[in-house]
Amino acid sequence: MKKCCFKNHSPAVFFLFILVFSANTLFGQHVNSYEKEGQITIASCQFPISEDLQSNATWIMKQMESAHDSGAHVVHFPECALTGYPGVDMQTMDYIDWGKLRTYTDSIMILAKRLKVWVILGSIHPLEEGYKPLNSLYVIDPNGKIAERYDKRFCTTGDLNYFCAGDHFSNIEINGVKCGLLICYDVRFPELYREYRRMDVDVIFQSFYNARQKPGGIHPKIMPVTAQARAATNHFYMSLTNSSAPSSWPCHMITPDGLIQSKLQTDSSGILISEVDLSDKFYDASKDFREKALNGTLSSEKSPETARYKSRNSL
C-alpha cells in the first residue's frame, strides 16, 4: 500500500487538507452536499370567479399577460377558476357549454405557449357519459401542452353532488424545484402533505374556492393558518390562491418556516409575485426528527425500559 506523502506540498496545503478532512468526518458529508438548488418566480392570481366562462377566461388570460410581464415562471389560479364553482356560483352544471369550455382552455394553452410560462389552471374535467366530472388542476407547460392533471382527492359532501373524487398525487419539476398540487378541502388532511414530504416536494400549489361566504364564516379565519401549519410541519413553500368574489380571503405565499411571506388584499383582484430560491434557509423545528416520524418512530429516542417508566399510575 502506498503511503500518502505531503513532502512536496507547502504546510498551508497540508493544513487545508486536514481541515477539510476533519469537517467531512465530523459532519459525515461535504459541507454543501445537502443544499438544494432551484429558483422559480410564482404569480398567485385572484379574481372574482363566476359562472360566466367568457368573463373567467378573460380574467385568466389578462392575468397571465401581467404575470409574464412581472417575470413569473408559474401562473397559479384558484379552484374552478375557469368554470365557476358548482354549489356556489351555480346550483347545476347543466349550463356548462363543454364545447366553449374546451375552446377557452385551448386559448389559454396557446397563450401559455406564446408567453413561455407554466400555468396551473383550476377547471372541471369531464369524463365519459354516465360519470360525474372531476374538480381538477391542469398543469400547462411552456409548450402549451397539458403536462399533468391533479384531481381533487377529498371532495366535500357537497362536492360529491357534482364531482367524482381523484385518487393520485401530482408532481412536476420546474427549474429544479419539485412541485406538488392540492385543492381546497385537501387542506383538512395532513396525511396528503406527509406523502408530498416523502416525495421531497419543495412547493405546494394549493387552489381554493372559499368565496361568497356567509357573514362571519369561519373559513377566512382558519384556512390560511391551517396551511401555515402544513407548511411548517413539512418544511415546504405553499402558494395559496382563492377567488376574490365577496367574503373571501386572499392569495398567500407561505415560507417553509410557516410564516406568511406576503398576501394580497381581500375581495379585490390582483397578482401576488413571489420568489422561491431553494438555497434560502428557513427555521425548521422538526428537522432532527421528521424522518423518524415519517418512518413511524414517534419519539425522539428509545424510552428507558425501567419499572418506574412502565408504571404510569404512581408517583
Does 278 have pLDDT greater than 80? yes
Q: What is the pLDDT of residues 129-159, one digit of tens each?
A: 999 999 999 999 999 999 999 999 999 999 9
The band of 226, judged by pLDDT with boundaries at 50, 70 and 90, is: very high
Tell me the CA distances in angstroms from 10 to 4, 7, 27, one per residue in order.
Answer: 15, 8, 26
Does 6 have pLDDT greater than 70? no
What would the grid cell of residue 139 be? 398543469
Contact at 8 Å (CB) between 183 and 193? no
The pLDDT score that the predictor gives to residue 95 is: 82
The pLDDT score that the predictor gives to residue 9 is: 47
Q: What is the pLDDT of residues 165-198, one digit of tens each?
A: 999 999 999 999 999 999 999 999 999 999 999 9
Does 223 have pLDDT greater than 80? yes
Does 314 have pLDDT greater than 50? yes
Eight-class DSSP state of 83: T
The pLDDT score that the predictor gives to residue 218 is: 92
User: What is the dihedral sign for C-alpha 79, 83, 88, 92?
Assistant: negative
Alpha carbon 298 to its chain's center: 26
The pLDDT score that the predictor gives to residue 214 is: 84
- DSSP one-letter string for 229-273: HHHHHHT-EEEEE---SSS----EEE-TTS-EEEE--TTS-EEEE
What average pLDDT does range 191-207 have in this prediction?
Answer: 98
Does 8 have pLDDT greater than 80? no
Which one is the CATH code of 39-280: 3.40.50.1100, 1.10.520.10, 3.60.110.10, 3.40.190.10? 3.60.110.10
- Look up the pTM and report it: 0.88
Eight-class DSSP state of 303: P
Which of 33-47, 79-93, 232-246 is predicted least confidently?
Answer: 33-47
The pLDDT score that the predictor gives to residue 216 is: 84
Q: How far apart are CA 34 and CA 107, in angstroms?
A: 42
Q: How far apart are CA 49 and CA 27, in angstroms?
A: 52
Collapsing DSSP to helix, strand or coil, 90 comes out as strand
The residue among 217 and 288 whose pLDDT is bigger is 288
The pLDDT score that the predictor gives to residue 25 is: 37
The band of 34, judged by pLDDT with boundaries at 50, 70 and 90, is: low
Does 78 have pLDDT greater than 60? yes
The amino acid at 213: Q
Alpha carbon 313 to its chain's center: 45
What average pLDDT does range 193-208 have in this prediction?
Answer: 98
Which of 26-40, 97-111, 113-127, 128-142 is predicted least confidently?
Answer: 26-40
Which residues fall within 8 angstroms of residue 140, CB to CB, at 6 or more apart?
A: 108, 109, 112, 118, 119, 120, 121, 146, 147
The amino acid at 177: V
The pLDDT score that the predictor gives to residue 171 is: 95
Instruction: Give the mean pLDDT of the chain.
Output: 90
Does 28 have pLDDT greater than 90? no
Q: Which of 176, 84, 91 is nearest to 123 (CA)?
A: 84
Contact at 8 Å (CB) between 38 and 202? yes
**b/e map of 55-71 (b: 16 or more CB within 10 Å)?**
ebbebbbebbebbbeee
Does 105 have pLDDT greater than 90? yes
The pLDDT score that the predictor gives to residue 238 is: 98
Does 211 have pLDDT greater than 60? yes
Does 42 have pLDDT greater than 60? yes
Does 13 have pLDDT greater than 60? no
Contact at 8 Å (CB) between 207 and 10? no
The pLDDT score that the predictor gives to residue 122 is: 98
Contact at 8 Å (CB) between 188 and 166? no
What average pLDDT does range 270-297 have in this prediction?
Answer: 96
- Residue 43 has a CB neighbour count (10 Å cut-off) of 28
Q: How far apart are CA 226 and CA 187, in angstroms?
A: 7
Find the largest Cα–Cα distance for the chain: 85
Q: How far apart are CA 256 and CA 262, in angstroms?
A: 13
